[in-house]
Structure 1
Amino acid sequence: MKFINFAVVKFSACIVMGILAAHFFPTTTISAYLVLPLLFGVLILWFYNRKQLIETTYFGIAAYLCFFAIGYCNYQIRLPHFQAEHFSHILNANDDFKIIQLKITEVLKPDTYNTKYFSTVNAIQGEAATGKILLQISKDSSNTSFSVDDILLVYGAISKIPEPLNPHQFDYSEYMKSLSVYGQIKISEKEIVHTTTGRKTLFGIAQNFRSTIVSKLQKTELQSNERAIIQALVLGEKKDIDTDLYNAYAAAGAVHILAVSGLHVGILYLVLAFLLKPFLQIKYGAFLHALVIVLLLWGFALLSGLSPSVTRAVTMFSFFAVAKLLNRETNSINTLFLSFLTLLLINPLWLFQVGFQLSFLAVFFIVWLQPLFYKVGFSKYTVVRKIWGIITVTLCAQIGVLPLSLYYFHQFPGLFLLTNIVVLPLLTVLMCGGILIVILAALQMLPHWLAQAYNAVIESLNNFITWVSVQDEFLFKSIHFSEVKVLGAYILIIAVALFFKKMKYRKLMVSLLAFAVFITIYIFEEYRTSNNQLVVFQKNKQTLIGYKNGKKLIVYKSDTISSSSEIYPIKSFKTAVNSTAYSEELLPKVFQYKRKTILVLDSLAVFPTHKKVHTIILTHSPKVNLNRLIDSLQPKQIIADGSNYFTYVTRWEKSCKLKKLPFCHTAKQGAFPID
């Protein structure tokens, strides 16, 4: 049966289109008035069609519209605009500090200066409120750590999460919105008025249980790096992984094993299915077999803190277990999309999370393409079949996630196949051994020899990953891949896959057409990114001016001792504009761009007095009489970058306002492109 005939796939597509429509074209009024008539219409048409041999077209159209409307409304009701008590309705831009009651919902990885938590707002100045915020507590002022379900009474002000100040940078505010976080609060310990323990929640119990296990693991003989890996593998706890080690896993193409996801749950599912086979020999054994597996999977999810990734994976494999119980194992695509549909109904915001997208794409392409790949290299030798099975699974998953990975991460690990051939067989041992070690550590019964043995295995794995990651010639970085290229790549992959599944002339023509479309997109992107640009970047205490001429990017800076090509904000900008040549030069005092004279005024405050300029860029806080400078040079606009003192900038802004002259401060308004 072709997967496109499955109704659940079509309904999932309608849900997705409804969510995307609500995301890109939101309305100010809820559309429930549309859903109810559609549901009523579908019900009437179902009663009419249930005795018909062939269903009418109207029934199908109404059903699809109904699911589209459900997706649209389900997304809309989660926006602050449709939540009457959301904190954004109570606060306004001029609000001073207020007494705010918060409840901790998740402990995050701290940064250099702050401990971080997700928390919900319970009340503001005694008035009931809702909404999720990012809570940051200064490390210098507090050594106290808080747990999930703790309630804090704080004195502070909720502010918006700032948007990126440079072009093509990671938008942290949009990422937070995908987690339903629409504000942040920064406080010190002295601004915490009172703390107490709130009513326990299932998520809180899971998080606190995981924290208890982590603290007991820290008392074992496991080394820090090895302990961090076992915490990631079994508990979904990645906070303690060293940054260099995490980057090594990413460069080696093995970062997926550090996040509890479908891969880990799938391994656990297969192990449990094998160990519980004796259940199948008794009466109602198939039911007990599926029930115990599902319960143990959810127990594992609870053990790993009920993180979104593991919750998604366990939900998906729970559907697989139920499908197998009903003898529907051949309908894997249908089962996969049923879990996909269910999860989007639970939380439509998951659709915009990278982990959600990559996990479902990987599983979809494995289920869809792996049987085709497996037939090609089938062997009568068991060892060869096992190795070929690992290779085909890895290739199918990589094909499925490659376009999206290039779009999000702009790099491709060339040795991913070697890494996975070594890691995947070992992962089953690591998972089973890790669960055993966690249980024994929690019971304080972990023997010395087992801890040492497991530590040696993880250390060997880390050494192998580190060796792979330093093979720089096989790591392709800074790959430009836009949204249009992603779409074109998936059209090409699907067209070619359909052709190889059943070779027909028409499918060959479709594949060639898809290839032509992708080449056209590639040529168009090359043309689109070949334009010239001049940008004054925002970077605190530094001056960076980027000049893009075709494919070449020149960065002007005060010194060229250290390279800026791989640091913020140049790295992502260089990739986004598809620059293939890069250089750095000393910042000129005066230069021309599109027949416009641009003056860069630094701390020496030396400027020509005999000619007019179009733009003045103020850097490193020059001590200059700006009014006299404006009268002398008659500029059209003035820009102050992030290297200037704020007191100077405030004074300059007032002068420009009096002169009715456009003024831009990059620290407030972001990077400034000069046209």
Structure 2
Amino acid sequence: MIAKHKGEIPVVILLLPFIVGIVAGLYCQRANLSLLYIAATILTIAFVILNLGYSKLSVYKMRWLGGLFLYPILFLTGWLLTLQHRELNKADHFSKIPARYMSIHINTEPTVKGDVVRFTADVVQAINRNSIRSCSGTLLVTIKDERATHLSYGEELLIPAKFTEIEPPYNPGEFNYKRYLANKNVYHQVYLYPRQYKILRAGQGNPVIAFALQTRRTLVEKLKANMHDTTAIAVASTLILGYKADLSNDVIQAYSKTGTIHILSVSGGHVAIIYALLALVLGFLDGYRRGKLIKVFCIIVLIWAYALLTGFSPAVNRAALMISLVICGKTFARYINSLNILAASAFVLLLYDPFLLTDVGFQLSYLAVAGLVIIQPVVYEWLVFKHKVANYLWSACSVSIAAQVITFPLSAFYFHQVPVYFLLSNLLIILPVMLIMYSGLLLLLLPQLPWVSGILGYVLEHSILVMNKALAWIEQVPFASIGKIWLNGPEHLLLYLLIVAAFCFFYKGNKIYLKLGVVTMLVFCISISLKKYNADRINAISFLDLRKHMGIIFKNGSSGVVLTDLAYTHKTFQYAIQPGLDSMQIAHYTLLKPDSNIRLPYFIKQQNLVQFNNTRLLLLNQSWQLPSIPRQLNVQYLYLSGNALINKKAINGLVVIADGSNSDIYIDKLKNIAVNCKILKRNKSIIIASK
């Protein structure tokens, strides 16, 4: 529903300064809390006095006066809530209390990969020999132990207080896991091995959440009992129950490239299907006195129970809250504006957790629904079909277009790719998704009946397999997605300005918006072109921090050589090297093993000697060792790995670079004998310009 004027969407207008305040709190974390509280208190008192003296002060003659006070109040409220929500700002945070041991409560369902278990936990006690202090804070815990695979939500553990800060990204283009966890209020981590932890007791978590997680595990086991294909089981568990632990990266990539990744996140569409099913089942209540109220109450309770079961993700919370508000509005015959309801749900969720604003799922979910409310009606009016089937298909297409248009800048910014055939993909999955949801829900809700459960499991499994095959086919079609897109912040905002200008032009027909769109597109294209031009002129050597592995990128414009002991398919290559190649806009590169030789116009490697343009580099490790370095080699850089034997005279005058495969003792000795020494271990990558 498109608002004609701002008076129709007051909640949207009030939400904006609140969001700006949250952004201020995220980026200005050292603000003086006392001053903020004083300012907010003064403005609030003035606003109350203004309303109490509305008639006497003739405030109605100055309508702008209320906003003058209300908007700053909302801005400061968002800022204060964000600062208060940040756990590091609390005086009793565990990182500020010295301790030998800590008592923790597991607050999430542990994920298991082989014999490695990972979960977050609330730190509740800091323990020393003679004292026990209560504390707060969330800790990321990783345990490498087969016995730990049986840990569950709510268990209390005793662990040593040997935590470390989450490490930042060290290599170009690498995913910022530290910032991702900080947005979830997690700043520290601990790695544990057998006999380094002790289970104290169970049942320390929220009993409702514990029951929901246990119920979900039981339902996942029921899916496994009635299905055979592991991929189909993983997709069913994710799509119906929000259980993503068994989902493979290949499946996620296939759905992402085809523009259907949204169905793997329990969100509005899933909740709408649940609502339709509940409305049908409980329809008989409409014939009774107060039956509608009972029906509404039951539907809302069951929808929130489903939201709890699926893990309370931002998308499902938004959908559950919106549907609850819509149901209440229709029941009591109130006028409903969808944008107001959307803004109200965002307001409630952000009051509970301001950090949700940084969640990609939260952003995508709300933008997609905003696109459906604002853009979809305009797109739908472009074409008119009298045939019901054609009209239904065009309606589905308009929904997909609206959602993709409003979210593709975010997809390009965060995931660096945009699907091309999203219309075809979303049309092909309509029927399978309906079959999956209804057959899956019936399978899980009904008791285990040999014939009925078997048939439902068969329908569920083969619906998923058919859908996966269709998406796999689309994924293999040429130009299925546009990848390797790296946008900076201004370019991201320019795309959204372009979308707003285009929508306003199509909706209102004013040429001023067309001119704005053309100018925005021109600026965006100039920015992209300049970035590409500069990238093609840069020649550089990037020494990467890959822990125990070697990784050196030689960039020669849009071409390059990657010298590494990792295969292209290795997860470390995909996580730490490939993003750097993409962000540096290296379109063509040669993957070279450390023991291989090669000769290119700009790159020569012969044994342990490398020449890149006019820069020479010598590689030394346990197998490649030299008692001295001949001067005629004219080496400028020395790359050391594997604790290679060196002497002080040999490295005199050279820039020495030591990677993460060297021991800490070796690195300490190296610092004492090398004048110009650069350490990669637990440090950011080193980038050197080359001519």
TM-score, normalisation: structure 1: 0.90
Matched, 1:609 2:604: no
- Specify whether residues 250 and 507 from structure 1 end up closer, same or farther in structure 2 by C-alpha distance, changes over 3 A only: closer
CA contact (8 A) 1:217 1:441 kept: no
Distance 1:45 1:575 in 2: 56
The alignment status of 1:43 with 2:48, answered yes or no, reads yes
2-structure distance, mates of 1:197, 1:561: 44
CA contact (8 A) 1:3 1:333 kept: no
1:436 aligns with 2:442: yes
d(CA) in 1 for partners of 2:230, 2:471: 17
Contact residue 258 and residue 480 of structure 2 kept, 8 A:
no
- Give the Cα separation in 2 of the matches to 1:325 and 1:55: 37
1:176 equivalent in alignment to 2:190: no
**Match status 1:116 vs 2:118:** yes
**Which whole-Å CA distance do the structure 2 matches of 1:442 and 1:34 have between them?**
61
Inter-partner Cα distance in structure 2 for 1:650 and 1:446? 68
2:197 counterpart of 1:188: no
2:556 is the counterpart of 1:549: yes
Task: Provide the rounded CA distance (Å) in 1 between the counterparts of 2:345 and 2:156.
Answer: 34
Relative to structure 1, is the Cα distance of residues 145 and 360 closer, same or farther in structure 2, using a 3 angstrom cutoff?
same
Q: Over residues 59-83 of structure 1, what are the superposed CA-to-partner deviations in whole Å (9 max), with x where a residue is unaligned?
A: 2121110111011011101223421
Q: For structure 1, which segment, 254-263 or 534-543, has the greater mean C-alpha deviation from structure 2 after superposition?
A: 534-543
CA distance in 2: counterparts of 1:276 and 1:503, whole angstroms: 46
**Which of 4, 8, 11 is matched with 2:11 structurally?**
8
Matched to 2:484, the amino acid is S
Partners of 1:49 and 1:56 within 8 A in 2: no
Q: Residue 425 of structure 2 corresponds to which residue in structure 1?
A: 419
Distance (Å, rounded) in 1 between the aligned partners of 2:195 and 2:569: 40
Task: Give CA-to-partner distance per residue, 1:443-491, whole Å, 9 cap, x none.
Answer: 9996322222322222222222233233354233222222222111000
- Match of 1:134, SS state, is strand
Q: 2:659 aligns with which of 624, 628, 641?
A: 641
Q: Quick check: 1:245–1:466 contact (8 Å CA) kept in 2?
A: no
Higher mean C-alpha deviation, range 503-512 or range 64-73: 503-512
1:374 maps to what in 2? Answer: 380
Match of 1:619 in 2: 641
- For residue 522 of structure 1, report the CA deviation from its aligned partner: 2.5
Q: Which of 628, 639, 660 pairs up with 2:649?
A: 628
1:523 aligns with: 529
Distance 1:432 1:411, change over 3 A: same
Superposition deviation, residue 564 in structure 1:
11
Task: Give how far 1:370 is off.
Answer: 0.7
Aligned match of 2:673: 655
Query: What pairs with 1:252-401 in structure 2 (closer than 5 Å)?
Result: 252-273=258-279, 276=282, 279=285, 284=290, 287-327=293-333, 331-401=337-407
AA at the equivalent of 2:158: L
| 1:573 counterpart residue number | 580
Matching residue's letter, 2:165: K
Please tell me the residue identity of whatever aligns with 1:101: S
Contact 1:156/1:191, CA 8 A, preserved across alignment: no
Distance between the aligned counterparts of 1:503 and 1:610, measured in 2?
72
Residue of structure 2 in register with 1:101 after alignment = 103
Relative to structure 1, the CA distance from residue 135 to residue 143 in structure 2 (aligned partners, 3 Å threshold; closer, same or farther) is closer
Deviation (angstroms), 1:500:
0.4
Contact 1:551-1:579 within 8 A present in 2 as well = yes
**CA deviation string 1:331-365 (max 9, x = no partner):** 11111111112111110111111111111111110
Q: Deviations over 1:488-539 (max 9, x none)?
A: 1000001100110110233333333332332333334334544443211122
Partner of 2:46: helix, strand, or coil? Answer: helix
Of 246, 259, 269, 2:252 maps to 246
- Supply the distance in 1 between the matched residues of 2:534 and 2:288 (Cα, whole angstroms): 66
Aligned mates of 2:344, 2:319 — CA distance in 1: 13
Q: Which runs of 5+ in 2 are unaligned?
A: 593-597, 599-604
User: Which residue of the other structure, out of 145, 153, 157, is the alignment partner of 1:148?
Assistant: 153
Spell out the pairing of 1:384-533 with structure 2 (5 A cutoff). 384-440=390-446, 447-527=453-533, 529-530=535-536, 531-533=538-540
Residue 219 of structure 1 aligns to a residue in which SS?
helix
Name 2:682's counterpart in structure 1.
Answer: 668
Tell me, in whole angstroms, the C-alpha distance in 2 between the residues paired with 1:327 and 1:127.
54
In structure 1, what is the Cα distance between the partners aligned to 2:145 and 2:424? 42
Can you list the C-alpha shifts for 1:523-560, whole angstroms capped at 9, x where unaligned? 34334544443211122443322233333333345799
What letter matches 1:157 in structure 2? K
Q: Which moves more between the two structures, 62-71 or 196-205? A: 196-205
2:240 aligned with 1:234? yes
Q: Which shifted more, 645-654 or 208-217?
A: 645-654
What letter is aligned with 2:420?
Answer: G
Question: For 2:158, what is the secondary structure of its paired residue?
Answer: strand
Matches of 1:198 and 1:133 in 2, distance apart? 19
Give the whole-Å Cα distance in 2 for the aligned partners of 1:560 and 1:152. Answer: 39
- Aligned residue type for 2:241: L
Measured against aligned partners, the alpha-carbon deviations of 1:217-275 in whole angstroms (never above 9, x if no partner) come to 33334543222222112211011223333332223322221121122113323444455
Q: Does residue 84 of structure 2 align to residue 63 of structure 1?
A: no
Paired residue secondary structure (2:30) = coil
Secondary structure, aligned partner of 1:182: strand
Report how far residue 610 of structure 1 moved: 4.7
**For residues 565 and 409 of structure 1, what CA distance do their matches in structure 2 show?**
18
Which consecutive residues of structure 1, in runs of 5 or more, have no partner in the other structure? none
Which residue is equivalent to 2:595? Answer: none
The amino acid across from 2:102 in the alignment is: I
Pair 1:538 & 2:556 matched: no
Q: Kindly report the root-mean-square deviation, in angstroms, between the aligned alpha carbons of the 2 structures.
A: 2.9
CA distance in 2, matches of 1:614, 1:452: 66
Structure 1 residue 651, shift from structure 2 partner: 2.5
- The Cα shift of 1:432 comes to 2.1
* In structure 1, distance between residues paired with 2:625 and 2:192: 39
Aligned length: 661
SS in 2 for 1:623: coil
Q: Please, which moves more after superposition, 373-382 or 588-597?
A: 588-597
In structure 2, the residue matched to 1:17 is 20
